[in-house]
Amino acid sequence: MASYVLRKTIRRLPGVVIKAVPKPHPEITEGFQARQKTGEICRERGYQSCLIVTDQTLFSLKFHEIIVESLEENGIKAAVFHDIHSEPTVGIVEAGEAAALACGADCVIALGGGSVLDASKMIVSGLRFHHLKAKSLMHKFLYVPHKSLPMISVPSTAGTGAEITVGAVIKKSDEGAKGSTVIVGLNIVHVILDSELTVNAPAGVTAACGIDALSHGLEGVVASVHVPDADMKESMECVRLVLEHLPIVLKTPDCEASRLAMSRAALYGGNAINEQLAGYVHAFAHAIGAQYHIPHGAAIALSLLPVMRYQKEACLSRLAELAVYCGLAEEQAAPETAADNLMDALDSLIQTCDFPDRGAFIPQEDYPLLIKRITDDSINYSAPVVFSRAEISALLDEINGRKENGDVHGD
């Protein structure tokens, strides 16, 4: 009870804190093979030597080569560091810093998914403290005086929003836990959205990433943080784009226009995380995902509808406004009807994604641990409500009893 009252009292604090963190406002370049323009972008910015950071898969697919050629054509030195794997450690970050120092990099180009982007954020920040071990920089907040080295994000997935978010998740050792750091002074100068990178993503990855992006926009729209209209519009546009274009890319994977729209949605979702934080959909997904090794997007798909429906009354007018924005209700519609239309559209979208049915996967004995983790995690967010332990338990029941396609067992 004491913890519930405390959480209710401090629930607006994360929103106040995140407002004080300066956010990157990168220029955007987009299109099929848009990364061909990297050299031109870097020449105009006056860079002379760039380190491309990528992972082994993208490296073996030679996706970095267009960037190398483009840099060299513009008279810029290029080096490649391709040792990032799915859960980057501080050791990898230090190796990346060494590669950047060895080539005298004045810019890092991050080509990849969330892991590459997050590792690159720590590399460009760590270079300002290269006499220190990367591990010693893994605090809740990392203040980088005079900004980090410039970074250009070239995301290879449309989901995490890591191409623009100020947070980085890195493991403190091979066996150690992941740590999340908010970087104050992160200097992301440009984002290149290249549909060639996402066009061949498997349907499962496309769906999971798309639902993740949608959840960032959605949790932003209902967040308790007050933001300027432009940020709220981006969060709403994120949801609208995913509702419209995710079904298209699942049916027609090579539709370049819709692939780009999904990349834009992910970027707007990243802005939502930066400005409005996330909420209980993420708190549930993190706890369930970590405990049962469920990928983030699939875990989001499990928690999204139960959580949003449960907190619907607390954010009815925002949901109604979003429904109208997405063309799911008339402006004159009753808020309850508009919000229900939105919930139905989300339900139908998740069904389209065809995530596997997990059945009842949460043993009763795990509930206390999950409730604690969800409660602890939720303190970092800006949800419109504060759930009691009993409410979290009831929602776990619903998630546990429901199929990922939106049906409830016993209904």
Q: How far apart are CA 147 and CA 376, in angstroms?
A: 31
Nearest to Fe ion of 34, 168 (CB atom) = 168
Yes or no: say if 392 and 398 are a contact pair by the CB < 8 Å rule.
Answer: no
Distances 349 to 177, 183, 244, 246 between C-alpha atoms, Å = 33, 34, 9, 8
The 158-197 contact track toward Fe ion, x by CB under 5 A, reads: ----------------------------------------
Nearest to Fe ion of 260, 304 (CB atom) = 304
Smallest gap, in angstroms, from Cβ of residue 328 to Fe ion?
A: 23
Q: Which of the residues 235 through 294 are near Fe ion (CB under 5 A)?
A: none
Smallest gap, in angstroms, from Cβ of residue 185 to Fe ion?
A: 23
Kindly indicate which of the ranges 35-43, 137-145, 207-215, 224-232 contains the residues binding Fe ion, using the contact rule CB under 5 A. Answer: 207-215
For 156-291, strand residue ranges (E) read 167-171, 178-184, 188-194
Q: Measure the N-to-C terminal CA separation of the chain; round to a whole number of Å.
A: 33
Smallest gap, in angstroms, from Cβ of residue 46 to Fe ion?
A: 35
Nearest to Fe ion of 212, 321 (CB atom) = 212
Q: Which of the residues 55 through 114 are near Fe ion (CB under 5 A)?
A: none
Q: How far apart are CA 123 and CA 262, in angstroms?
A: 27
Q: What single string gives the DSSP state of each residue in 40-95?
A: HHHHHHT--EEEEEEEHHHHHTTTTHHHHHHHHHTT-EEEEEEEE-SS-BHHHHHH
Kindly indicate which of the ranges 65-73, 144-152, 205-213, 229-237 contains the residues binding Fe ion, using the contact rule CB under 5 A. Answer: 205-213
State the maximum Cα–Cα separation within the chain, in Å, rounded to a whole number: 66
- Site residue total, Fe ion (CB under 5 A): 1
Dihedral (CA of 92, 97, 98, 104) sign: positive
Kindly indicate which of the ranges 109-117, 179-187, 208-216, 248-256 contains the residues binding Fe ion, using the contact rule CB under 5 A. Answer: 208-216
Nearest to Fe ion of 78, 213 (CB atom) = 213
Nearest to Fe ion of 144, 350 (CB atom) = 350
Smallest gap, in angstroms, from Cβ of residue 215 to Fe ion?
A: 6
Nearest to Fe ion of 193, 238 (CB atom) = 238
Smallest gap, in angstroms, from Cβ of residue 6 to Fe ion?
A: 26
Q: Is 188 left (phi over 0), alpha (psi -120 to 50) or beta?
A: beta
Smallest gap, in angstroms, from Cβ of residue 67 to Fe ion?
A: 27
| Out of 212, 234, 340, 404, the residue judged to bind Fe ion by CB under 5 A | 212
Kindly indicate which of the ranges 209-217, 230-238, 312-320, 353-361 contains the residues binding Fe ion, using the contact rule CB under 5 A. Answer: 209-217
Yes or no: say if 250 and 197 are a contact pair by the CB < 8 Å rule.
Answer: no
Q: Which of the residues 328 through 357 are near Fe ion (CB under 5 A)?
A: none
Smallest gap, in angstroms, from Cβ of residue 269 to Fe ion?
A: 8
Nearest to Fe ion of 212, 404 (CB atom) = 212
Dihedral (CA of 18, 19, 24, 28) sign: positive
**Cα pseudo-dihedral 33, 35, 36, 37, rounded to 10:** 130
Kindly indicate which of the ranges 81-89, 105-113, 206-214, 234-242 contains the residues binding Fe ion, using the contact rule CB under 5 A. Answer: 206-214
Nearest to Fe ion of 24, 161 (CB atom) = 161
Nearest to Fe ion of 37, 282 (CB atom) = 282
Smallest gap, in angstroms, from Cβ of residue 242 to Fe ion?
A: 13
| Radius of gyration for the chain, computed over Cα atoms and rounded to the nearest angstrom | 21
Smallest gap, in angstroms, from Cβ of residue 224 to Fe ion?
A: 18
Q: How far apart are CA 399 and CA 362, in angstroms?
A: 9
- Of the candidates 265, 300, 267, 269, which has an alpha carbon nearest to the alpha carbon of residue 282? 300
Sheet strands side by side (includes 151-155): 27-31, 188-194, 151-155, 107-112, 49-55, 77-84
Residues interacting with Fe ion, by CB under 5 A? 212
